Amino acid sequence: MDLLLGAVVLGVLLGCFYAAVSVGLSVAFGLLDVPHVAHPAFLVLASYGVFQLNESYDIDPLLAGLAITPLFFLFGLLAYRVYYETFERRGSDAGVRGIAFFFGIAFIIEVLIILQFGVDQRSVSATYIGKSWRFGEFRIPIRQLVAFAVALALTVLLAMYLSKTFMGRAIRAVAQDEEALRLMGANPVRIKQFAFGIATAVLGIAGALLIIVAPVEPTLDRAYIGRTFCVVVMAGLGSISGTLIAAIILGVAESIVLTLFGASWAPAISFAMLLGVLAVRPQGLLGR
């Protein structure tokens, strides 16, 4: 019983971390309808950026994540521009090719990382990595607590940005009715591009959390395709508060299965949950 309780506690911490890595996808895919399969690849790329800064200049991984955030923002602006010009604007057959486009991008990122860093696992060093706190019988690694706190802050900040600020409301408006926004004199493409930039910029911090929680390897994005899409779809497309809840459900489920059956089943859990959600409630999940 104590074992299970410990698993639940760790699962909640893990879940908040999953929210941070998924929240960008919730904007890109949930709100903007971009089939962004490369989101987890960008995430892993951010982790390697953090690794490089930490390795060469001994910068704290969280600061390093913050440092690469502007770069990722520009990256996102560029990616959306290419996507818009080649697929959305021309319209026909955009689905098949748009998905293939992001799949190809994800694969290119994976191979470039392998060519640059090799296939070995990489990790960062910081004062809070490697220690853990004891709460009675539980032992909680401090890296998990740091990731939990930062992830929670990140998710809440993004949710507030989308609901309270003018730009945030514009982003949600463009997701609901692009045409109405156009009639009011706004440029929906500009807004969407900016939103995609934000969604990608968040990955700077999320990538730092990824490499703080555990070592990373170039093909790690494959497991995170399942996790991020599972969270976003389960949340209900585009719902940020839903993202947090769905992520915690996934985190707890993974943590419990890990405790009861062992690590060899871990990669399949998020995908199985995703398939379950898609199979049971496709009508509620396909489009708004």
Partner 1 sequence: MNKRSHSIAFWAAVAVFLVAVLSMTQIVRNEYPFFAGYVILQFIALAVAWSILGGYAGYVNFGTNAFFGVGVYTAVALFKATGAPLVVQIAAAAVVGMTLGFGVGLLTLRMRGIFFSIATIALAIIIETFVMNWRFVGGAAGIQIQRPPVMAPFDSYVKMLFFVQAVLAVIAVAIARYIQNSRIGRGLQALRDDELAAECTGVPTLRLKLVACMTSGALISAAGAPAAMYLQYADPSSAFNLSYSVSALAMALIGGTAHWIGPVLGAILLGSTQQLLAVTISSEVNVLVLGIMLVLFVVGAPKGIIGLLRPRYRLRAGGKP
95 binds partner 1 (CB under 8 A): yes
User: Interface mask (CB under 8 A) for partner 1, residues 108-127, using x and -?
Assistant: x--xx-xx------------
What number of other Cβ atoms are within 10 A of residue 142's Cβ?
16
Q: Which stretch binds partner 1 (CB under 8 A): 68-76, 178-186, 192-200, 265-273?
A: 265-273
The answer to whether residue 238 forms part of the interface with partner 1 (CB under 8 A) is: no
**Closest alpha carbon to 10 in 148, 136, 130:** 148
State the Cα–Cα distance between residues 198 and 194, nearest whole angstrom: 6
Alpha-carbon separation of residue 17 from 2, 96, 152, 263 (angstroms): 23, 31, 7, 19
Which ranges of the chain would DSSP assign to H, the alpha helix?
2-25, 39-57, 61-83, 94-117, 142-164, 166-176, 178-183, 188-213, 221-235, 240-261, 266-280, 282-285
Q: Does residue 107 bind partner 1 (CB under 8 A)?
A: yes
Is residue 264 close enough to count as binding partner 1 by CB under 8 A? yes
Q: Which of 70, 104, 130, 284 binds partner 1 (CB under 8 A)?
A: 104
Can residue 130 be called a binding residue for partner 1 (CB under 8 A)? no
3-state DSSP assignment of residue 261: helix
Task: Answer yes or no whether residue 100 interacts with partner 1 by CB under 8 A.
Answer: yes
Q: Does residue 260 interact with partner 1 by CB under 8 A?
A: no
With a CB cutoff of 8 Å and minimum separation 6, the contacts of 94 are 87, 88
Stretch that binds partner 1, among 140-148, 164-172, 177-185, 216-224 (CB under 8 A): 216-224
| Distance between CA atoms of residues 261 and 64, nearest Å | 36
Minimum distance of partner 1 from residue 270's CB (angstroms): 8
Contact between 43 and 224 under an 8 Å Cβ cutoff? The reply is yes
Counting contacts by CB under 8 A, is residue 160 touching partner 1? no
Q: Within positions 13 to 72, which residues make up the interface with partner 1, using CB under 8 A?
A: 29, 35, 37
User: How many whole angstroms separate alpha carbon 239 and alpha carbon 104?
Assistant: 28
CA 114, distance to chain mean position in Å, is 21
Whichever of 123 and 219 has its CB closer to partner 1, that residue is: 219
Interface residues toward partner 1, by CB under 8 A: 29, 35, 37, 82, 86, 93, 95-97, 99-101, 103-105, 107-108, 111-112, 114-115, 219, 222-223, 225-226, 229, 233, 264-265, 267-268, 271-272, 274-275, 278-279, 282, 285-286
